[in-house]
């Protein structure tokens, strides 16, 4: 599923890049990690492209810009606690704004130091293009585009997103999905965010042109471990697509892709949901609040019974086939394996 999603999205990006004479692409971390790889596989003559760090936490650190959003302001005050000496966060948004204004003079120096570090990092990328576009996945507040627009100004011509929860007419964005997503699509969005990401820890800062990552926990480490298999599958899909269909590209429309993912979520087997149940993703700018990837993982007795019955019927057929043939040593070993599988399934 990650393969068609990445290929469909990047094919759409390629067309718009060519039609608008864009000569440099910024693949925003961490979603841009696999998207950049797919773009370079699918494109004979790719334009200049870079993998770039531009998470929400850097916008807060460099510009102190919480965009009049309560959660962002609380994140900002929490991030700067060590710098301001603030011991506890305020209870209300109004109090938070008062405290922010109080500390603003000393925070300005802190922000300028962070901004200079980030600009030094940007210069190290040696971006030559004069007409840039950023590429990211899901958005609600268009944070990466908003942040990079401050850094690159008019050079940043366009920002790509796979889907969005709202439109922003003040920023030049291109949305792959044909309509806005709603709260009902959150499980779908969570799945796409897992499929299109990187085997990399969340970023906390940029120092001396290098990323500083958060201290990993069990959720981060497990997700990275699992994602390596997803990454391999997406790359193989992109390579197969290039080999067989590049001259006659298949139309992976956004509706087709998102309907495929929705169907998976509806019909996911017990095993699928058990695997998804083990994966958590961070939902805040500091990557400290974790949510389960697939919350709908409770199974009814009817589902379990149906699953077990299917497995038993399948295994009975295999045993029946073996019983009506002459037994070789290999077949006897096969029967023993099947018996173990039956016992395991029933258990």
- The 3 state secondary structure assigned to the chain is CHHHHHHHHHHHHHHHHHHCCCCEEEEECCCHHHHHHHHHHHCCCCCEEEEECCCHHHHHHHHCCCCCCHHHHHHHHHHCHHHHCCCCCCCCHHHHHHHHHHHHHHHHHHHHHHHHHHHHHHHHCCCCCCCEEEECCCECCCHHHHHHHHHHHHHEEEEEECCECCCCCCCCEEECCCCCCCHHHHHHHHHHHHHCCCCCCCEEEEECCEEEECCCCHHHHHHHHHHHHHHHHHHHHHHHHHHHHCCCCCCCCHHHHHHHHHHHHHHCCHHHHHHHHCCEEECCCCCCCEEECCCCCCCCHHHHHHHHHHHHHHHHHHHHHHHCCCCCHHHHHHHHHHHHHHHHHHC
Give the least confident one: 14-23, 156-165, 235-244, 333-342. 333-342
Range of the domain at 121: 2-292
| pLDDT for position 68 | 87
**324 or 297, which is more confident?**
324
Asked if 219 and 329 sit in the same domain, the reply is no
Model confidence at 123: pLDDT above 90: yes
| pLDDT for position 265 | 84
Asked if 252 and 275 sit in the same domain, the reply is yes
Asked if 182 and 330 sit in the same domain, the reply is no
Asked if 199 and 244 sit in the same domain, the reply is yes
| pLDDT for position 244 | 83
Model confidence at 139: pLDDT above 90: yes
Asked if 254 and 314 sit in the same domain, the reply is no
Asked if 219 and 310 sit in the same domain, the reply is no
**Count of domains for the chain:** 2
| pLDDT for position 303 | 59
Percent of the chain with pLDDT over 90: 58
Asked if 33 and 11 sit in the same domain, the reply is yes
Whole-number average pLDDT of the chain: 87
Give the least confident one: 67-71, 167-171, 227-231, 242-246. 242-246
Asked if 162 and 183 sit in the same domain, the reply is yes
Give the least confident one: 90-104, 257-271, 290-304. 290-304
Model confidence at 298: pLDDT above 60: no
Asked if 128 and 203 sit in the same domain, the reply is yes
Asked if 148 and 122 sit in the same domain, the reply is yes
Asked if 92 and 207 sit in the same domain, the reply is yes
Give the least confident one: 71-85, 292-306, 309-323. 292-306
Asked if 167 and 315 sit in the same domain, the reply is no
Model confidence at 211: pLDDT above 80: yes
């Amino acid at each position: 599923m990650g393969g068609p999603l990445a290929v469909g999205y990047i094919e759409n990006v390629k067309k718009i890049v060519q039609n608008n004479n864009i000569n440099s692409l910024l693949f925003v971390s961490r979603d841009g990690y696999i998207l950049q790889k797919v773009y370079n596989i699918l494109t004979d003559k790719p334009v200049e492209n870079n993998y770039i760090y531009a998470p929400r936490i850097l916008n807060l650190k460099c510009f102190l810009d919480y965009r009049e959003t309560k959660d962002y302001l609380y994140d900002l005050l929490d991030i700067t606690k060590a710098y301001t000496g603030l011991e506890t966060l305020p209870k209300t948004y109004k109090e938070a704004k008062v405290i922010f204004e109080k500390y603003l003079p000393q925070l300005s120096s802190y922000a300028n130091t962070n901004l200079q570090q980030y600009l030094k990092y940007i210069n190290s990328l040696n971006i030559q293009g004069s007409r840039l576009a950023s590429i990211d996945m899901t958005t609600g507040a268009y944070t990466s585009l908003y942040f990079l627009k401050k850094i690159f100004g008019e050079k940043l011509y366009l920002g790509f997103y796979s889907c969005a929860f709202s439109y922003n007419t003040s920023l030049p964005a291109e949305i792959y999905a044909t309509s806005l997503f709603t709260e009902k699509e959150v499980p779908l969005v969570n799945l796409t965010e897992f499929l299109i990401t990187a085997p990399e820890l969340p970023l906390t800062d940029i120092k001396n042109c290098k990323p500083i990552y958060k201290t990993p926990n069990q959720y981060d480490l497990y997700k990275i471990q699992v994602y390596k298999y997803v990454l391999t599958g997406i790359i193989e899909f992109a390579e197969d697509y290039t080999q067989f269909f590049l001259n006659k590209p298949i139309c992976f429309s956004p509706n087709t892709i998102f309907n495929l993912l929705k169907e998976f979520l509806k019909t996911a087997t017990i095993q699928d949901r058990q695997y998804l149940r083990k994966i958590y993703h961070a939902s805040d700018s500091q990557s400290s609040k974790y949510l389960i990837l697939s919350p709908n993982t409770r199974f009814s007795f009817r589902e379990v019974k149906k699953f077990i019955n299917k497995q038993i019927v399948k295994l009975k057929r295999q045993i029946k086939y073996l019983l009506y043939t002459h037994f070789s040593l290999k077949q006897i070993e096969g029967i023993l394996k099947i018996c173990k599988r039956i016992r395991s399934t029933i258990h």
